[in-house]
């Protein structure tokens, strides 16, 4: 373990180690004086010198950061300790804290031989003073060395495990932050896609209708004899602007389409067909097949938006003269078919949005497919140049549908005003 990577617990242990060295040196000096030993002055001097050399080490940065400096400092400490041990057998007590100092400062491959040498010096010095070598003389220092090695190795193992857990927690925290950022980005992209579909299928189509109506009104005013027709076109454009304003406000409130809030899906499709016919001149026929049922709001919104987009494509791109819109209720599915007699196109050749194609192309079909896919439905487009276009979407019921009362379901011949009543 490197000295510069100390934990608070290790700093406390290091402080206790310094206090132990100081206390043992003081005890050795006091005992020598109290026993009136002839070597008492030398023992006190050696103890003071050893304390001074030992105290210098923690104050020198190279000792804490350089193994070579630590080795030199330990060699000086061991030399003075050997002198003290030669003067008094009480010096053997210093062997135990020296074990910890060596294990702390030196790499393990060097620390273990140093501990072994210190143990042998302690056993030899104590045996030289007692003139005998007993089992206790050998076991004492050896047991102290074993305890020191076990404690340090155990602490290092716990330290490594703690570091691994700390790194794991940091990685988990970073992964959680990355996941939160990814989820946020995905949410932003999903919201952008939703708004893009809504704007394309409502505001963009409404503005296109307003443009067509104003252009027709402009042509009528140029003739100067068809003022009533021009006024009618202007009134229809104003109503389209009002409807688009309601749609824009709905985006802010995140509510269902106004047409669905005011009635049923079949009635909303009837109004859509009537509005398209008035604004573009496209002959649109709307019919309902099967017994109408109350669908989940997301299903009704998707079907209405797909119908808006399909009819807008028939007007703007296919230049169709007639279109058929059919809403079919089945046992577990609802289907919407929009067929026109326009110019047609090659579905495989339609560029994807953002692929560098002309502005405003390719997004309508992609939005319709995204709406169907979001509700686990399917969307099929059949077309060929000069042969018209057929768009068919099928959505499964997300929940058991509730049959509507016969009075709530408009018939194909029901006027739009009665369908909303």
- Asked whether the whole model's pTM tops 0.85, one would answer no
Under a CB-based contact definition with an 8 Å cutoff, are residues 113 and 103 in contact? no
What pLDDT does residue 137 have? Answer: 79
Q: Please report whether residue 403 resides in a domain.
A: no
Q: Please report whether residue 158 resides in a domain.
A: no
Residues 391 and 305 both lie in one domain: yes
Residues 67 and 126 both lie in one domain: yes
Token reading at 355: 């692929």
Q: What is the CATH number of the domain that holds 342?
A: 3.30.565.10
Residues 110 and 220 both lie in one domain: no
Average the pLDDT over 266-273 and give the result.
Answer: 90
Q: Please report whether residue 290 resides in a domain.
A: yes
Residues 41 and 75 both lie in one domain: yes
- What domain range is 234 assigned to? 187-253
Task: Provide the domain count of the chain.
Answer: 3
- In this model, does residue 61 exceed pLDDT 90? no
Please state, rounded to an integer, the average pLDDT across all residues of the chain: 81
pLDDT (tens digit per residue) in 318-361: 889 999 999 999 988 999 999 999 998 888 877 666 554 444 45
- Is residue 225 very low, low, confident or very high in pLDDT (cuts 50, 70, 90)? low
User: Cα–Cα distance between 264 and 419 in angstroms, integer?
Assistant: 8
- In this model, does residue 85 exceed pLDDT 80? yes
Q: Please report whether residue 402 resides in a domain.
A: no
User: Cα–Cα distance between 215 and 233 in angstroms, integer?
Assistant: 9
Under a CB-based contact definition with an 8 Å cutoff, are residues 103 and 155 in contact? no
Q: Please report whether residue 408 resides in a domain.
A: no
- In this model, does residue 399 exceed pLDDT 60? no
Residues 95 and 207 both lie in one domain: no
In this predicted model, which residue has the larger pLDDT, 202 or 110?
Answer: 110
Residues 330 and 267 both lie in one domain: yes
Q: Is 397 left (phi over 0), alpha (psi -120 to 50) or beta?
A: beta
Residues 304 and 327 both lie in one domain: yes
Residues 369 and 320 both lie in one domain: yes
H helices of 322-407, in order, are 363-374
Q: Please report whether residue 157 resides in a domain.
A: no
Average the pLDDT over 389-408 and give the result.
Answer: 69
């Amino acid at each position: 373990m490197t000295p510069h990577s100390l934990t608070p617990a290790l700093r406390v242990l290091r402080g206790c180690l310094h206090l132990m060295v100081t206390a043992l040196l003081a005890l050795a000096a006091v005992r020598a004086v109290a026993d009136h030993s002839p070597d008492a002055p030398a023992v006190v001097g050696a103890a003071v010198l050893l304390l001074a050399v030992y105290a210098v080490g923690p104050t020198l940065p190279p000792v804490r950061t350089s193994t070579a400096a630590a080795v030199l400092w330990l060699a000086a400490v061991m030399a003075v300790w050997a002198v003290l041990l030669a003067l008094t057998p009480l010096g053997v007590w210093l062997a135990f804290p020296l074990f910890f100092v060596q294990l702390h400062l030196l790499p393990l491959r060097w620390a273990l031989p140093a501990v072994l040498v210190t143990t042998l010096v302690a056993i030899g010095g104590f045996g030289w003073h007692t003139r005998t070598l007993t089992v206790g003389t050998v076991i004492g220092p050896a047991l102290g060395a074993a305890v020191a090695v076990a404690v340090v190795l155990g602490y290092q193992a716990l330290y490594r495990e703690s570091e691994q857990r700390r790194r794991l927690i940091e990685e988990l925290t970073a992964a959680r932050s990355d996941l939160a950022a990814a989820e946020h980005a995905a949410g932003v992209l999903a919201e952008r896609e939703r708004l893009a579909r809504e704007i394309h299928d409502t505001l963009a189509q409404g503005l296109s209708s307003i443009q067509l109506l104003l252009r027709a009104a402009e042509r009528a005013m140029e003739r100067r004899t068809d003022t009533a027709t021009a006024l009618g076109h202007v009134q229809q454009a104003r109503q389209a602007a009002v409807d688009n304003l309601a749609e824009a406000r709905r985006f802010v409130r995140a509510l269902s389409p106004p047409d669905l809030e005011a009635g049923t899906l079949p009635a909303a499709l009837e109004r859509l067909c009537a509005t398209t016919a008035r604004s573009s001149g496209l002959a649109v026929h709307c019919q309902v097949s099967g017994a109408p049922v109350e669908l989940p709001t997301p299903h009704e919104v998707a079907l209405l938006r797909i119908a808006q987009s399909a009819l807008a494509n028939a007007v703007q791109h296919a230049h169709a003269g007639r279109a058929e819109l059919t809403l079919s209720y089945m046992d577990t599915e609802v289907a919407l078919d929009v067929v026109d007699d326009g110019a047609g196109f090659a579905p495989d050749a339609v560029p994807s949005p953002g692929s560098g194609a002309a502005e405003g192309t390719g997004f309508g079909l992609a939005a319709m497919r995204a709406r169907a896919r979001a509700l686990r439905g399917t969307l099929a487009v059949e077309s060929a140049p000069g042969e018209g276009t057929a768009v068919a979407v099928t959505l499964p019921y997300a929940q058991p549908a509730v049959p509507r009362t016969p009075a709530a379901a408009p018939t194909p011949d029901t006027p739009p005003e009665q369908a909303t009543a």
